[in-house]
């Protein structure tokens, strides 16, 4: 690991100011991803601005919704009573993430900003357009079992690894930011960027901009929500396929449904078309299967990840039929 | 008399030291003045180093030296147990990605590591061959390895296959897999003149010594290798690897001690692995399932510099009664690092054999256990002589009963519980344990001090298996002293000679010498007592003295007693004895039964129940023996369901060289395991009735799981690992 400078800061404004004034600066909070990236040489920073002391860790529940500070720890959020009662999908996604040790350290803001687990990205000696723009993408022709079938480009097909982001997407959450130009808000659905021509840019976050909070709008239907995560071992592993679902039924018909997917796309993935197939229809396995087919209509499978196209459709049936009481 | 300690579930004597951090592992203790080394490794897999520019690295703070092939003296490439075929930094050729091309020395580890990034290496790269599939040359039969041929023929297998009433033909495969002990490999080398001390993560301190002796042309008695504790080896620390030699060479060049610890990523190319493996099996049998022919060709990944095969087909050629056998172990050399032994080498080929037998059982309609009993052999298939003390049939019976095998559903896919198919499968387990070399003989010494305590010394190792504890039990029993009156000193090549802790050879090879030395010590102390007029036992015939709890008694009059402490105290000098004994190789056996649940829609496989029964002669310590079963079963689950190392097809670099990308089972993947032991002393044993055991309880697990998945779903997966994409 390269030597780097270090500045602990006391308030968000100072954090933004120091980050803006210091070349090559990055924020560090829990450090559960950043330190590994730096140690492995996948990411280099001249300076770390330590924000872990900022007062941004509180969780508040109000009539308008839930507000989670950017520095709240994963475990803290997963255990919060309002989260468990009103947004079970959120608690489930968090508890399906990482390990208890990591969840004790990792923050909500950092979770949204974690980098892909693509083996080529993590190996500093491999080509990778996300790590070194223009160097190529070995995953396209190489080992791509874990890679995306949706949202990719000819420059990158790496998946976003966050479970939390998938759940937040299904809940229409909003990310609160503070930057040199002041505060702004970005819907979670617009926060992560598809690789396109610039896979090295993961999010809309601007230089020196800080995640101060996540806001989850109150929605009664979120009580009936669930997170299904499929992976290659029982725990402590990223998703092969995951789905967050919020389902509102009235008289056997789907009044509203929100579906977000992980493991299959380059960003946390929402499919309005698939939701539209179900909305207003009686909830049946056949209807869910139709929605699944719409979801994967534009999928681009690669040699090793083609099974995800089938698996995500099956997972959708599994999740919604369970959530809708069909089984 | 003492209650015998041998056999009981005695807790590890070093357990507390390990969990409190008091146990010092080879890289733990600071060495005054030591520099930290870090390897610069090749980013290309095939080609040549054209130029190395260390100037930026040398300018980095704390950096003392950067050594390349231009700096290192020419060294002699050792043979076994150095199984690399070449020493890096001796020339410019690159044989695999991750091969060391330079070593950086600096004051701190962080400085060395960052400076290693700053060493600029230019290569002339050639496109590598990254897998057996892409090899342009056909597989070939390598020369015999350590006297073992790669082709075994018995009877006329081809003709018997053609004539067989029933035939099974199938192809099985296993991917590259890595040992991944939790403790990374580490070497600390310290020269004093032409004397060398090495703190090494070694499964065999004497192996490290012999390799360094050859490489540096140094008499073995000038080299001392220390490995008091080991954080797991599984074979990865049995052979000696280049980083050890390079660290020793760098310490000599720098004139200062050097410590080098491999990173997890470096362990994926520098310390061996289980080779990628293909197996083509043809089994002929009668309609009743009796084997008549076994024709097997295996293909293992070799390397450009090493032709040894470490995925032996012992099970195919010897485990069952079959008159006509033809086994060919072929290999193909891609541009990858050399493979090596991995607990247990038989496991890879055993998967195909035990799966094929399951396929045969279904084909002829015979219960898989009955099929194995039908083909059981009581004689060595190669020599025809009886296998002493083999109790494999007991293993089948005990495990099948405990598992409830008789209630097994007769058809595949017949049992469903909620969303899951439930399936049961089984396999035989078998492992050949090694013997220590005959010369020099394995020797232990026992010293009884004036405090009455016994110190046993032997250059064996505790690789996490419980050697310290079992040696203590043996000495305590032989002498009649409490366990806490015995101290075992091991893991040091300066101690009386012992071999490598590999091939499940430790207990098999050290128990005899330790027992002899301890009995000699007891006899010597008894002789002192009866000859000492001050002893209450004065004049008693030695064979009428018994020992227990640290005391010596007259066998008929227990009021006449003395103690080790008193006798040796009066004697005024410690009593020291030695014992030596040769052991022979042999076999341990077992049966493993598993239950799996396979999600009907999602293909998720869970192993929910495991029952084992093993025959390894006498059980020395029930607790550490069960530890071996738990480790073997858990690792077998890893092999069956998830573990695989991926090489990029274009660059031949490992894509998942870390524990995030290379999955091993976590607690939630490990089911309850019910373990049974036949526990019958082997009359042929030189180890108080025990045989070597440690590697045995992984051998059948992958096949048992695959067989259970078939029983659950009717799907036969012949290519490991059994990931959900193969079951959708």
Q: pLDDT tens digits for B214-272?
A: 999 999 999 999 999 999 999 999 999 999 999 999 999 999 999 999 999 999 999 99
Of A3, A237, A314, the CB nearest to B663: A237
Contact between B189 and B416 under an 8 Å Cβ cutoff? The reply is no
Partners of residue A307 in chain B, C-beta under 8 Å: 724-725, 728
Partners of residue A230 in chain B, C-beta under 8 Å: 602, 604, 724
Contact between B430 and B595 under an 8 Å Cβ cutoff? The reply is no
| Phi and psi angles of residue B694, each rounded to the nearest 5 degrees, phi first | -40, -40
Residue that is written with structure tokens 């009581």 in the block:
B378
* B202 vs B26: CA distance, rounded Å: 9
Residue that is written with structure tokens 């998945």 in the block:
B709
**Sequence-distant (≥ 6) Cβ neighbours of residue B295 within 8 angstroms:** B157, B158, B161, B281, B282, B283, B325, B326
- Does the beta-carbon distance from B663 to A117 stay under 8 Å? no
Helices (H), A174-267: none
B276 is catalytic: no
- Does the beta-carbon distance from B661 to A142 stay under 8 Å? no
Residue B3 has pLDDT above 90, yes or no: no
- Does the beta-carbon distance from A119 to B728 stay under 8 Å? no
Contact with chain B for residue A232, Cβ under 8 A = yes
Hey, which residues 642-671 in chain B have their CB within 8 Å of chain A?
642, 646, 648-651, 653-658, 660-661, 663, 665-669
Partners of residue B655 in chain A, C-beta under 8 Å: 119-120, 123, 126, 142-143
Of A120, A123, A318, the CB nearest to B602: A318
Of B602, B606, B655, the CB nearest to A315: B602
- Does the beta-carbon distance from B661 to A119 stay under 8 Å? yes
The neighbouring-strand residues paired with B35 are B258
- Tell me how crowded residue B577 is: count the other CB atoms within 10 A of its CB: 19
- Does the beta-carbon distance from B668 to A2 stay under 8 Å? no
Of A142, A234, A327, the CB nearest to B650: A142
* B689 vs B142: CA distance, rounded Å: 37
Among the listed residues A85, A77, A67, A66, the one whose alpha carbon sits nearest the alpha carbon of residue A30: A77
Contact with chain B for residue A115, Cβ under 8 A = no
* A46 vs B84: CA distance, rounded Å: 39
Give the strand order in the sheet containing B151-154: B151-154, B325-332, B291-301, B277-285, B166-174
DSSP A12-61: HHHHHHHHHHSTTEEEESS-TTHHHHHHTTSS--SEEEE-TTSS---EEE
- Does the beta-carbon distance from B110 to A143 stay under 8 Å? no
Contact between A47 and A5 under an 8 Å Cβ cutoff? The reply is yes
Residue B142 has pLDDT above 50, yes or no: yes
Tokens of B600: 């009907």
Q: Complex ipTM, two decimals?
A: 0.97
- Tell me the whole-structure pTM to 2 decimals: 0.98
The packing angle between helices B701-713 and B622-641, to 10°, is: 50
Of B663, B667, B668, the CB nearest to A232: B663
Read off the pLDDT band of B1 (50, 70, 90). very low
DSSP A71-113: T-BHHHHHH-HHHHHH-HHHHHHHHTSS-HHHHHH-BHHHHHH
- Does the beta-carbon distance from B117 to A2 stay under 8 Å? yes
Q: In this prediction, what percent of chain B has a pLDDT beyond 70? A: 100
**Domain definitions of chain A by residue range:** 221-323
- Does the beta-carbon distance from A2 to B114 stay under 8 Å? yes
Interface test with A, best of B725, B726, B727 (most A CBs within 10 A): B725
| Phi and psi angles of residue B586, each rounded to the nearest 5 degrees, phi first | -170, -165
* B184 vs B191: CA distance, rounded Å: 23
CATH 3.30.390.50 at A221-323, yes or no: yes
Q: Determine the average pLDDT of the residues in B576-595.
A: 96
- Does the beta-carbon distance from B668 to A234 stay under 8 Å? yes
Contact between B285 and B291 under an 8 Å Cβ cutoff? The reply is yes
Among the listed residues B415, B424, B323, the one whose alpha carbon sits nearest the alpha carbon of residue B367: B424
Helices (H), B119-163: 157-163
Of B61, B606, B655, the CB nearest to A120: B655
Instruction: Tell me the shortest Cα–Cα distance from A182 to chain B, in angstroms.
Output: 37
Partners of residue A122 in chain B, C-beta under 8 Å: 658, 660-661
Q: What domains are there in chain B, each with its CATH number?
A: 15-22+436-580 (3.30.365.10), 35-127+182-232+237-270 (3.90.1170.50), 277-378+388-434+585-726 (3.30.365.10)
Per the residue annotation, which of B114, B200, B643, B695 is the catalytic one?
Answer: B695
- The pLDDT profile of chain A, 327 residues, written as one tens digit per residue, is 678 999 999 999 999 999 999 999 999 999 999 999 998 889 999 999 999 999 999 999 999 999 999 999 999 999 999 999 999 999 999 999 999 999 999 999 999 999 999 999 999 999 999 999 999 999 999 999 999 999 999 999 999 999 999 999 999 999 999 999 999 999 999 999 999 999 999 999 999 999 999 999 999 999 999 999 999 999 999 999 999 999 999 999 999 999 999 999 999 999 999 999 999 999 999 999 999 999 999 999 999 999 999 999 999 999 999 999 998
Interface test with B, best of A125, A304, A316, A321 (most B CBs within 10 A): A125
* A83 vs A274: CA distance, rounded Å: 26
Partners of residue B654 in chain A, C-beta under 8 Å: 123
Partners of residue B657 in chain A, C-beta under 8 Å: 123
């Amino acid at each position: 690991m390269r030597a780097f400078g270090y500045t602990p800061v006391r308030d968000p404004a100072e954090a933004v100011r120091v980050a803006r004034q210091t070349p090559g600066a990055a924020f560090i909070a829990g450090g559960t991803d950043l330190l590994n990236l730096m140690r492995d040489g996948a990411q280099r920073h001249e300076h770390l601005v330590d924000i872990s002391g900022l007062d941004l860790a509180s969780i508040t529940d109000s009539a308008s919704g839930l507000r989670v500070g950017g520095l709240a720890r994963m475990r803290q959020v997963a255990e919060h009573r309002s989260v468990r009662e009103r947004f079970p999908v959120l608690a489930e996604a968090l508890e399906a993430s990482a390990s208890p040790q990591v969840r004790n350290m990792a923050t909500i803001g950092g979770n949204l900003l974690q980098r892909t687990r693509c083996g080529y990205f993590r190996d500093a000696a491999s080509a990778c357009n996300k790590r070194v723009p223009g160097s190529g993408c070995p995953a396209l022709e190489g080992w791509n079992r874990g890679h995306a079938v949706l949202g990719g480009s000819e420059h990158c097909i790496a998946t976003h690894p966050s479970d939390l982001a998938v759940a937040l997407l299904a809940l229409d959450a909003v990310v609160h930011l503070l930057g040199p130009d002041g505060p702004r808000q970005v819907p979670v659905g617009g926060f992560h960027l598809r690789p396109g021509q610039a896979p090295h840019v993961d999010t809309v976050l601007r230089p020196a901009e800080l995640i101060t909070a996540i806001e989850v709008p109150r929605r009664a239907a979120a009580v009936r929500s669930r997170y299904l995560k499929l992976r290659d071992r029982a725990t402590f592993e990223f998703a092969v396929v995951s789905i967050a679902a919020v389902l509102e039924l009235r008289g056997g018909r789907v009044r509203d449904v929100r579906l977000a997917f992980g493991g299959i796309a380059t960003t946390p993935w929402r499919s309005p078309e698939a939701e539209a197939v179900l909305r207003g229809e009686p909830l049946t396995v056949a209807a869910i299967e139709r929605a699944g087919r719409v979801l994967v209509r534009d999928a681009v499978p690669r040699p090793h990840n083609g099974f995800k196209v089938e698996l995500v459709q099956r997972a959708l049936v599994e999740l919604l039929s369970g959530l809708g009481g069909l089984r | 008399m003492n209650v015998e300690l041998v056999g009981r579930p005695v807790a590890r004597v070093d357990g507390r030291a390990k969990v409190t951090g008091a146990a010092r592992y080879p890289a733990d203790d600071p060495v005054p003045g030591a520099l930290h080394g870090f390897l610069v490794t090749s980013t290309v897999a095939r080609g040549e180093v054209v130029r190395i520019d260390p100037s930026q690295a040398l300018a980095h703070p704390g950096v003392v030296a950067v050594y390349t092939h231009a700096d290192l003296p020419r060294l002699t490439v050792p043979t076994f147990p150095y199984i690399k075929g070449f020493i890096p930094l001796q020339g410019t050729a690159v044989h695999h990605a991750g091969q060391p091309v330079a070593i950086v020395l600096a004051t701190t580890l962080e400085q060395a590591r960052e400076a290693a990034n700053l060493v600029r290496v230019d290569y002339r790269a050639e496109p590598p061959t990254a897998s057996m599939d892409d090899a342009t040359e056909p597989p070939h039969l390598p020369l015999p390895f350590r006297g073992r041929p790669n082709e075994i023929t018995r009877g006329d297998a081809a003709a018997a296959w053609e004539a067989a009433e029933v035939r099974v033909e199938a192809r099985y495969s296993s991917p590259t897999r890595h040992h991944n002990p939790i403790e990374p490999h580490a070497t600390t080398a310290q020269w004093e003149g032409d004397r060398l001390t090495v703190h090494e993560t070694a499964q065999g301190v004497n192996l490290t010594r012999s390799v360094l002796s050859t490489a540096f042309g140094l008499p073995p008695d000038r080299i001392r290798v220390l490995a008091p504790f080991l954080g797991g080896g599984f074979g990865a620390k049995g052979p000696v690897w280049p980083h050890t030699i390079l660290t020793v060479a760098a310490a000599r060049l720098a004139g200062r001690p050097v410590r080098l610890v491999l990173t997890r990523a470096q362990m994926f190319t520098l310390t061996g692995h289980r080779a990628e493996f293909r197996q083509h099996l043809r089994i002929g049998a009668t309609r009743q399932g009796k084997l008549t022919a076994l024709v097997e060709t295996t293909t293992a990944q070799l390397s450009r510099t090493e032709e040894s095969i470490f995925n032996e087909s012992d099970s195919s050629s010897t485990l069952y009664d079959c008159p006509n056998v033809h086994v060919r172990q072929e290999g193909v050399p891609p541009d990858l690092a050399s493979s090596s032994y991995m607990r247990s080498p038989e496991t890879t080929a055993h998967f195909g054999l035990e799966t094929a037998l399951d396929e045969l059982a279904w084909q002829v309609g015979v219960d898989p256990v009955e099929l194995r009993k039908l083909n059981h052999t009581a004689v060595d298939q190669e020599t025809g002589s009886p296998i002493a003390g083999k109790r494999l049939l007991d293993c089948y019976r005990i495990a099948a009963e405990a598992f409830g095998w008789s209630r097994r559903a007769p058809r595949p896919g017949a049992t469903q519980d909620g969303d899951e198919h439930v399936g049961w499968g089984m396999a035989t387990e078998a492992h050949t344990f090694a013997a220590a070399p005959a010369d020099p003989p394995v020797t232990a010494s026992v010293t009884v001090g004036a405090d009455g305590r016994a110190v046993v010394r032997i250059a064996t190792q505790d690789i996490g298996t419980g050697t310290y504890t079992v040696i203590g039990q043996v000495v305590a029993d032989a002498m009649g002293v409490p366990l806490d009156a015995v101290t075992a000193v091991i893991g040091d090549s300066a101690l009386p000679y012992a071999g490598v802790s590999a091939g499940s050879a430790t207990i098999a090879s050290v128990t005899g010498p330790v027992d002899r030395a301890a009995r000699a010590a007891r006899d010597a102390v008894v002789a002192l007592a009866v000859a000492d007029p001050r002893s209450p036992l004065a004049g008693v015939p030695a064979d009428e003295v018994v020992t227990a709890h640290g005391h010596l008694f007259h066998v008929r009059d227990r009021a006449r007693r003395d103690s080790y402490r008193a006798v040796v105290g009066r004697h005024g000098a410690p009593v020291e004895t030695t014992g030596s004994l040769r052991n022979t190789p042999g076999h341990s056996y077992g049966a493993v039964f598993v239950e799996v649940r396979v999600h009907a829609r999602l293909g998720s496989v869970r192993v929910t129940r495991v029952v084992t029964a093993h025959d390894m002669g006498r059980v020395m310590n029930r607790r550490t023996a069960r530890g071996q079963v738990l480790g073997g079963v858990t690792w077998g689950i890893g092999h069956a369901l998830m573990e695989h190392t991926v090489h990029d097809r274009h660059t031949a670099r490992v894509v998942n060289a870390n524990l995030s990308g290379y999955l091993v089972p976590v607690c939630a993947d490990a089911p309850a395991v019910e373990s049974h032991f036949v526990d019958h002393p082997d009359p042929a044993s030189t180890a108080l009735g025990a045989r070597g055991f440690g590697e045995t309880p992984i051998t059948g697990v992958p096949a048992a799981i695959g067989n259970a998945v078939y029983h659950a779903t009717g799907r036969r997966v012949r290519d490991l690992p059994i990931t959900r994409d193969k079951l959708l």
